[in-house]
Chains A and B, each alone.
Chain A
Amino acid sequence: MTRKPWSESRRVAVFLALLAVAAVGGETVQKEVVFQEMEVFPGRTGGYDNYRIPAVVTSNQGTLLAFCEGRHPARSDSWNIDVMMRRSTDGGKSWSNLQALWDDGGNWCGNPGTVVDRETGTIWLLMTWSRGDDGEAAIVKGTSKDTCHVFACSSKDDGVTWSKPAEITKTAKDPDWRWYATGPGAGIQVTHGRHKGRLIIPCDHSAPHGGYESHIIYSDDHGGTWKTGGTIPNFTECEVVERTDGTLLINMRNFDERRKTRGTATSADGGETWSKVTHDQTLIEPNCQGSVRRYTTVAKDGKSRVLFSNPASTSQRVRMTVRLSYDEGRTWPVAKLINAGGSGYSCLTVLPDRTIGLLYEKQATRGITFARFTLDWLTDGKDALEKPGARAGGPASKAGAEPLDYTIDRTTARKGLDGKRCFCHPRAGVIPPRAPGNPSETPMVVITFAPHSLPPAYDVFYATNHMRSDDLGRTWDGPREHPATMGRRKEPGGGGGRPVRSDAEMACGDG
């Protein structure tokens, strides 16, 4: 995972905005086709030689927060690197002054990995620290004076002010790991399932016996504490996207430079373990970091779209390309060139106006550029977002027109007739995860039954039974009968009436 400074200096600024009128489906509509670029961290400015390692995120207020490493001229035995930031409150048209968020003299403060806690609005920035006179190679070999340390800081005011970086190495890094990178890029917050709310920062590290491994760190308490998740050998820098089924898809840079296609794996437990790795033959790479990001969902936008960016070349870091998947990252039918020349690390974000943001290293500027473009531009007009409000989920929306869909999985909790009673009226209730009485991460499901007589008697009920599953219906405990608390009670008259004698009479009695 060699990181080198840019070798040439040339500044390019591009601004292109087009408004076009296009005909779609026989209906003429005005479509905005936009591509804009702006240098956010141009090299050889601000007292730094070059800027690398971009990370960008959009806050709950819609503010763009761009981070990177500001690098002083590299010497063979010294790395003086600071974590930099600029904010934009107008969608990337203008940016705040350059700000060094973390400058520890001649040491290396870097590898920004950022995530927004959508539930609290807090913006998290995770970083690493190492001595300036300890290069990556020495740390990997174990010959360095110190090792990589992991830090976290946060902002509760939309990125205006930041907490002092606090070390989290003890819980976020295995003692056997040496080199360590948070991010670089952006993490995610799990949006549904039993790990809803979990903050995830993709990371990588050098393994104690050689090679690198991808891993994630996560927080289930809104950034209060961070833990290490599952590791994946032979891969390095990575990013994660949540699929609509709740699984996580990780997309990784190869450690083995002979491999030229990105590695992917999935996790069904919020990143604590990962599936066997597959290589996506479409996502070629020259061995470089890349970014993967959720763009739209079926539930909210009518269509699933996932974005991916990296230098699409097997030989050089050139041809920065953004791809689009409509099947949760399985295939990538759309690819659009962003920059044909030298291009390196990148980070995707989605802006409040639903345009796509890409913060990426551009070799021509020895710095980092922010590109903003629309889905129309990305797909050459073949795809467009639905108009706002077109799929409001409430009663005002047109039923049947929405793409909400589902699959049916039929399972059996119990079966069998004993010739005496019929188990009927099964209805289930759920004790949610971490709710009183259910400390687990899995919903506890309780089904109550009402056993009743077989013919010739009508609807003669007996004591309530229940069954319970603590593993989402894979196994069931019971039925357990509750004669003492849910059984028959004798009454001295008072009920009145007479037994039901006909089918019509029982019609409304008991279901």
Chain B
Amino acid sequence: MEVVPSDLTPKWHAATGKLLCTGHNVRYTGDRGPMRVYNRETVYSVYDPATRNLSSWRTLAMPDAPRFKNAGAGCTQRFDLAGGDILLPLYFKHPEQRQYSATVVRCGFDGGTLTYLEHGDELTIPVQEGFTEPSLTRFGDRFYLTLRNEAHGHVTSGPDGMHFDKPKKWRFDDGSELGNYSTQQHWVTHSDGLFLVYNRRGANNDHIFRHRAPLFMARVDPEKLCVMRATERVLLPERGACMGNFGVTDVGPDETWVTVAECADTGNVKNHGSDNSAFVVKIKWNGPNQLVK
């Protein structure tokens, strides 16, 4: 049996001055593919800019309950509170249940050790695998959580980053379904606007595995929790490969980056021109993002 970190997201932790990467792990026997996971942990590591090394990966200790034996923060966006506590979204599953649940764990971090403090609502849905890969942000005075589901991406909001309303399907503002499924979505949060980055079907992209390309970005109506169709733009056009595993980073007040690679493990993607490029899409704002110091 072997275990390896995956699905990491690095993010600056201002309170300790550390670049903290969070994700989870995968277990294998040889190279036969991951075990059908019912043991999984949230993984973390700290980047040292002086040595250009990542610290030896550690795992987040969760409460001793069967459903948390498989709990990981892979592909999630966390939110750091002003005092330094971390709101870390993750998802977990009881070994005898099919559906995953998503929750937000409030963690302490002292620059070396990530500690579970409490967790909030346990959100799930009786549809395929439940809710996975949650991403959290705050816009104005409210928190927003976007959730992966194998049939429909979902969204919810709440007052404190731990407790949320009942999630609902992502839709356009005209009421039609967004068409996102079976992959993550992430937030782009500007002080003057909330945006969602996502894939969706219905973009002449049936040849793409799970419709994971192009990569779109659109404005979110934070009251109605829907995507404003007229604001949808293609961040990256498709070249045959899927681009469903991506990250969002505020580089400064003027720029937010979306990073994504062409995943070349499915189909004959090279016929469309993809070459496993890792793209950095620089979103350059016309006004400073006051949320970025």
Do A and B come from the same complex? yes
Q: Which residues of A contact B (CB under 8 A)?
A: 191-194, 196, 244-246, 297-300, 391, 393-396, 398-400, 402-417, 422-432, 435-438, 443-450, 452-455, 457-464, 466-468, 472-473, 477, 480, 482, 484-501, 505-511
Complex CA–CA separation, A150 to B48 (angstroms): 44
Residues of chain B contacted by A427 (CB below 8 angstroms): 8-10, 246-247, 249, 259
Contact of A468 with B39 at beta-carbon distance under 8 Å, contacts A412-B278, A422-B276, A435-B17 already known: no
In the complex, are the beta carbons of B36 and A499 less than 8 A apart?
yes
Complex CA–CA separation, A425 to B186 (angstroms): 13
Asked whether any CB of chain A lies closer than 8 Å to the CB of B132, the reply is: yes
Contact of A492 with B1 at beta-carbon distance under 8 Å, contacts A437-B17, A443-B252 already known: yes
Complex CA–CA separation, A299 to B28 (angstroms): 49
Q: For B139, give the chain A residue with the smallest CB separation.
A: A395
In the complex, are the beta carbons of B265 and A463 less than 8 A apart?
no
Q: List 30 A-B contacts (CB under 8 A).
A: A395-B142, A399-B221, A404-B193, A411-B281, A415-B276, A415-B277, A416-B276, A422-B263, A425-B7, A425-B247, A426-B261, A428-B251, A429-B20, A446-B47, A450-B5, A453-B31, A454-B265, A459-B34, A460-B28, A460-B31, A460-B32, A461-B5, A461-B6, A461-B26, A464-B8, A486-B45, A486-B57, A497-B38, A506-B34, A511-B6
Contact of A411 with B53 at beta-carbon distance under 8 Å, contacts A400-B228, A499-B36, A510-B26 already known: no
Contact of A431 with B49 at beta-carbon distance under 8 Å, contacts A395-B140, A414-B278, A423-B278 already known: yes
Residues of chain A contacted by B264 (CB below 8 angstroms): 417, 422, 454
In the complex, are the beta carbons of B35 and A499 less than 8 A apart?
yes
In the complex, are the beta carbons of B251 and A430 less than 8 A apart?
yes
Asked whether any CB of chain A lies closer than 8 Å to the CB of B127, the reply is: no
Least Cβ distance of B246 to chain A in Å? 7
Please provide the 9 A-B residue pairs with the shortest distance between their CB atoms, ordered closest to farther: A299-B287, A394-B140, A427-B247, A429-B10, A192-B288, A436-B17, A437-B49, A399-B221, A495-B27
In the complex, are the beta carbons of A415 and B278 less than 8 A apart?
yes
Complex CA–CA separation, A484 to B57 (angstroms): 10
Contact among B6, B182, B253 with A510 in the assembled complex (CB-CB below 8 Å): B6
Asked whether any CB of chain A lies closer than 8 Å to the CB of B117, the reply is: no
Instruction: List B residues 236-256 near A (Cβ within 8 Å).
Output: 236, 244-247, 249-255
Instruction: List B residues 114-149 near A (Cβ within 8 Å).
Output: 128-129, 132-133, 139-142, 148
Residues of chain A contacted by B113 (CB below 8 angstroms): none
Asked whether any CB of chain A lies closer than 8 Å to the CB of B165, the reply is: no
Residues of chain B contacted by A492 (CB below 8 angstroms): 1
Q: For A452, give the chain B residue with the smallest CB separation.
A: B265
In the complex, are the beta carbons of B266 and A455 less than 8 A apart?
yes
In the complex, are the beta carbons of A485 and B75 less than 8 A apart?
no
Contact among A297, A394, A510 with B139 in the assembled complex (CB-CB below 8 Å): A394
Residues of chain B contacted by A436 (CB below 8 angstroms): 17-18
In the complex, are the beta carbons of A428 and B247 less than 8 A apart?
yes
A399-B224, A449-B261, A499-B32 known; 12 new pairs, CB 8 Å cut-off, are A193-B252, A409-B281, A410-B281, A417-B264, A422-B265, A435-B17, A450-B7, A460-B28, A460-B34, A468-B52, A499-B36, A509-B26
Least Cβ distance of B101 to chain A in Å? 12
Chain A interface SS verdict (over half): loop
Contact of A490 with B1 at beta-carbon distance under 8 Å, contacts A299-B191, A460-B33, A497-B37 already known: yes
Complex CA–CA separation, A425 to B190 (angstroms): 23
Contact of A410 with B236 at beta-carbon distance under 8 Å, contacts A299-B286, A400-B221 already known: yes
Residues of chain A contacted by B261 (CB below 8 angstroms): 422-426, 449
Asked whether any CB of chain A lies closer than 8 Å to the CB of B81, the reply is: no
In the complex, are the beta carbons of B12 and A409 less than 8 A apart?
no
Residues of chain B contacted by A461 (CB below 8 angstroms): 4-6, 26, 34
In the complex, are the beta carbons of A194 and B252 less than 8 A apart?
yes
Least Cβ distance of B23 to chain A in Å? 8
Least Cβ distance of A248 to chain B in Å? 14
In the complex, are the beta carbons of B275 and A415 less than 8 A apart?
yes
Complex CA–CA separation, A494 to B27 (angstroms): 10
In the complex, are the beta carbons of B1 and A493 less than 8 A apart?
yes
Residues of chain A contacted by B39 (CB below 8 angstroms): 494-497
Complex CA–CA separation, A413 to B220 (angstroms): 29
Asked whether any CB of chain A lies closer than 8 Å to the CB of B192, the reply is: yes
In the complex, are the beta carbons of B4 and A463 less than 8 A apart?
yes
In the complex, are the beta carbons of B35 and A500 less than 8 A apart?
yes
Mark interface residues in B198-229 (1 if CB within 8 Å of A CB, else 0).
Answer: 00000000000000000000011111100010
Residues of chain B contacted by A432 (CB below 8 angstroms): 12, 293
Residues of chain B contacted by A452 (CB below 8 angstroms): 6, 265
Residues of chain A contacted by B57 (CB below 8 angstroms): 485-486
Contact among A431, A445, A449 with B257 in the assembled complex (CB-CB below 8 Å): A445
Contact of A411 with B280 at beta-carbon distance under 8 Å, contacts A399-B194, A510-B34 already known: yes
In the complex, are the beta carbons of A444 and B6 less than 8 A apart?
no
Least Cβ distance of A469 to chain B in Å? 8
Q: For A400, give the chain B residue with the smallest CB separation.
A: B228
Asked whether any CB of chain A lies closer than 8 Å to the CB of B97, the reply is: no
Asked whether any CB of chain A lies closer than 8 Å to the CB of B231, the reply is: yes
Mark interface residues in B258-270 (1 if CB within 8 Å of A CB, else 0).
Answer: 0111011110001
Asked whether any CB of chain A lies closer than 8 Å to the CB of B56, the reply is: yes
In the complex, are the beta carbons of B140 and A485 less than 8 A apart?
no
Least Cβ distance of B152 to chain A in Å? 14
Residues of chain A contacted by B141 (CB below 8 angstroms): 394-395
Least Cβ distance of A231 to chain B in Å? 27
Q: For A478, give the chain B residue with the smallest CB separation.
A: B52
Complex CA–CA separation, A496 to B17 (angstroms): 38
In the complex, are the beta carbons of B283 and A408 less than 8 A apart?
yes
Q: For B186, give the chain A residue with the smallest CB separation.
A: A427
Complex CA–CA separation, A297 to B148 (angstroms): 37
Complex CA–CA separation, A350 to B34 (angstroms): 62
In the complex, are the beta carbons of B5 and A400 less than 8 A apart?
no
In the complex, are the beta carbons of A447 and B278 less than 8 A apart?
yes
Residues of chain B contacted by A505 (CB below 8 angstroms): 36
Contact among A244, A447, A496 with B35 in the assembled complex (CB-CB below 8 Å): A496
